[in-house]
């Protein structure tokens, strides 16, 4: 997308009554986490702890292990309740 087409799109939205400074119509944010791992058992505990311990909690989580030879799949399943 060029700068010109972006500007035109933004101007069209403003003309239609869209104000980006208005708060969203829904009162809360929904956080979805997507995690893909492969032989990541050495870094997964820290990554999962950070994901699950963040200020805004995760409502939806999707995880995939791509055939790890280590404990990655088990760590993800235990942490995310899969």
What pLDDT does residue 82 have?
65
**Can you tell me the distance from the alpha carbon of 35 to that of 44, in angstroms, rounded to the nearest whole number?**
10
**Can you tell me the distance from the alpha carbon of 17 to that of 66, in angstroms, rounded to the nearest whole number?**
46
Is 63 domain-assigned?
yes
Closest Cα partner for 28 from 59, 53, 73? 59
CA-based torsion, 10, 13, 15, 21: positive or negative: negative
Is 10 domain-assigned?
no
Is 17 domain-assigned?
no
Average pLDDT of the chain to the nearest whole number: 80
Is 6 domain-assigned?
no
Number of domains in the chain: 1
> How do beta strands 32-37 and 60-65 pair?
parallel
Is 29 domain-assigned?
yes
Domain span including residue 65? 23-80
Is 33 domain-assigned?
yes
Is 16 domain-assigned?
no
pLDDT tens, residue by residue, 9-46? 445 555 567 777 876 666 667 889 999 999 999 999 99
Please state the pTM of the whole predicted model: 0.60
């Amino acid at each position: 997308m060029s700068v010109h087409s972006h500007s035109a799109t933004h101007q069209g939205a403003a003309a239609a009554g869209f104000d980006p400074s208005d708060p969203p119509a829904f009162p809360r944010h929904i956080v979805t986490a997507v995690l893909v791992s492969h032989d990541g058992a050495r870094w997964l505990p820290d990554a999962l702890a950070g994901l699950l311990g963040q200020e805004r909690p995760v409502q939806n989580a999707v995880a995939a292990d791509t055939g790890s030879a280590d404990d990655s799949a088990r760590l993800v399943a235990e942490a995310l309740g899969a």
